Structure 1
Amino acid sequence: MNSVKQRVPRLLPWLDQRKPDVVCLQETKLADEAFTKLLGGELRDRGYEFALNGEVQWNGVAILSKVGIEDVTVGLPGAPGFPHVEARAVSATCDGVRVHSLYVPNGRTPDSEHYHYKLAWLSVLRDVVKAGPEAVVVCGDMNIAPTDADVFDPDAYKDQTHVTPPERAALAELQALGLHDVMRDRWPDKRVFSYWDYRAGMFHQDLGMRIDLILASSPVAARVQASWVDRQARKGTGPSDHAPVIADLDTAPDGDIGPVVPPPSAPAVKRGSKKLPQSK
């Protein structure tokens, strides 16, 4: 969301348009009481129950559900803090599926204290998912691009977080529990991004990363009929820098319409020709 308060004019119309049964939000940047005051009535009017884990100004995650929300766990039991425990995880059972909404630490710079915090946090996440039920979905801003194919140019990300071998190894260990990356399962060879920096026209040039993932255990992954990035939600006035990632189970109201909708018009860039906005 990059601040749910700022995205209300976009979030509510999106809910009305897509009518998702379960929604996982990250980076809400609101304490639970403030979130409920801001959106509680609007969400209930649309048939959503919700589970929250928020804090003032930073982080914050939520699950919205039209199909029930039971056995809520706020936070990640045993997770480290930096230095205090942050609002980065909430989980609940929705219609028989354990759903985790996660905002993984960024890592900031390789080998920094925050980077090692990220790796420790991911280790605890793996243990929590391993101990959980068989039907599980891990959703959210993972702040890791799984492979070089998930960034616009691997050369541009040299010496940056999100692509380092330890981060990717931590994600691979999580997936080794039997979790399927439903987007890649469905579109193994397609260029797919979910995040574009606000700066330097990155979105319009389609210079992005795929760091927002839906990881599903085999019983859930077998039900996937479509998976795609709603790129339309990244367009227009006041968007987040992330676009929603959608997975349809059992039925696909929009059909199996492609990996990114609408598809970007910008062609892939020549390797080494573009840099990140923060690069010197």
Structure 2
Amino acid sequence: MRIATFNVNGVNGRLPVLLEWLATTQPDVVCLQELKAPQDKFPAQAIEDAGYGAIWHGQKSWNGVAMLARGTVPVETRRGLPNDPDPAQSRYIEAAVNGVLIGGLYLPNGNPRPGPKFDYKLAWFEQFTAHAADLLASGAPVVLAGDYNVMPTEADVYKPERWTEDALFAPEIREAFFRLTAQGWTDALRALHPDETIYTFWDYFRNAYERNAGLRIDHLLVSPSLRPRLKAAGVDRSVRGLPKSSDHAPTWIELADA
């Protein structure tokens, strides 16, 4: 079972890239972020024609999350966090697919720091962490996939010294990420590629993609019961190089059959 996360940075504008990637790689489940489309403007028919059922939580111009499943429709269990600090922002969707519960998230950027946006990021992360603890307590096999807007370590960012004041690399945010994983979650990419330089995002400016001046901010966390089934993880880096592509690349894991 291949589960992927992809910040599409505008689902309608990037639709040809998304459809090409789906046709080429055929992931079983995809969590999308930054739809930047209201609920009625999600390209449901094009996604269905590509062989995927979908659920989505849209928002005009900003944010927005969705989940796609190949050959079926995800069984939605939640949209929005419990005690969400700002329910008007579409940042979380959760569903069951083929016996796995999947949470798709788009954690706030938080810049500029300090300020209200950073405070909101911390508050959202706190509620997300509380919900993650409840998911673990349920005993269900769970994957938490999405754009976390966090580089956990210096190995996850090109020239980390340039990011010390940024909300994506702030000590408080990195600590929050490790409080989350300390519950028992496995950071799948880093677990399988502990020493590799691996990025999931490259800015549009300064030839960042060509220079591989990237960030690893898209993560898939797996619950303890899924850790033995984790057999592969990677980034479809070449997608970032396609014309009119997102500044993120699809990031994925493969789970062995139960």
Q: Same fold (TM over 0.5)?
A: yes
Shift of 1:74: 1.2
TM-score, normalising length from structure 2? 0.92
**Aligned-residue RMSD, C-alpha:** 1.3
In the alignment, what sits opposite 1:51? Answer: 55
Whether contact under 8 Å (1:68, 1:93) holds in the other structure is: no
Map 1:1-280 → 2, pairs under 5 A: 1-35=8-42, 39-66=43-70, 68-81=73-86, 85-132=88-135, 133-134=138-139, 135-250=141-256
Whether contact under 8 Å (1:51, 1:72) holds in the other structure is: no
Shift of 1:181: 0.4
Query: Counterpart of 1:43 in structure 2: which amino acid?
Result: I
SS in 1 for 2:89: coil
Whether contact under 8 Å (2:100, 2:142) holds in the other structure is: yes
Using the alignment, how far apart are the partners of 2:16 and 2:157 within structure 1? 29
Query: Counterpart of 1:99 in structure 2: which amino acid?
Result: I
Query: Counterpart of 1:70 in structure 2: which amino acid?
Result: V
Whether contact under 8 Å (1:151, 1:209) holds in the other structure is: yes
TM-score, normalising length from structure 1? 0.85
Q: Identify which range, 236-245 or 125-134, moves more after superposition.
A: 125-134
Whether contact under 8 Å (1:79, 1:85) holds in the other structure is: no
Using the alignment, how far apart are the partners of 1:73 and 1:97 within structure 2? 14
Instruction: Report 1 or 2 for greater relative contact order, CA contacts < 8 Å, sequence distance ≥ 6.
Output: 2
SS in 2 for 1:121: helix
Query: Counterpart of 2:81 in structure 1: which amino acid?
Result: L
Query: Counterpart of 2:41 in structure 1: which amino acid?
Result: A
Using the alignment, how far apart are the partners of 1:65 and 1:72 within structure 2? 15
SS in 2 for 1:86: coil
1:146-194 superposed Cα distances (whole Å, 9 cap, x missing partner) = 1011001111112112111100111111111211000000000000110
Using the alignment, how far apart are the partners of 1:15 and 1:58 within structure 2? 23
Higher gyration radius (CA): 1
Using the alignment, how far apart are the partners of 2:88 and 2:176 within structure 1? 20
Using the alignment, how far apart are the partners of 2:132 and 2:253 within structure 1? 20
Using the alignment, how far apart are the partners of 2:172 and 2:128 within structure 1? 15
1:97-151 superposed Cα distances (whole Å, 9 cap, x missing partner) = 1111111000012221110110110110011111123311111110000101100
Q: Percent identity?
A: 36
Q: Which runs of no fewer than 5 residues in structure 2 stay unpaired?
A: 1-7
SS in 1 for 2:95: strand
Whether contact under 8 Å (1:193, 1:208) holds in the other structure is: yes
Using the alignment, how far apart are the partners of 1:188 and 1:114 within structure 2? 32
Query: Counterpart of 1:102 in structure 2: which amino acid?
Result: L
Shift of 1:70: 1.6
Using the alignment, how far apart are the partners of 2:186 and 2:134 within structure 1? 17
In the alignment, what sits opposite 1:259? Answer: none
SS in 2 for 1:12: helix
SS in 2 for 1:4: coil
Query: Counterpart of 1:229 in structure 2: which amino acid?
Result: V
Q: Which runs of no fewer than 5 residues in structure 1 stay unpaired?
A: 252-280
Using the alignment, how far apart are the partners of 1:32 and 1:216 within structure 2? 29
Shift of 1:68: 4.7
Using the alignment, how far apart are the partners of 2:125 and 2:101 within structure 1? 18
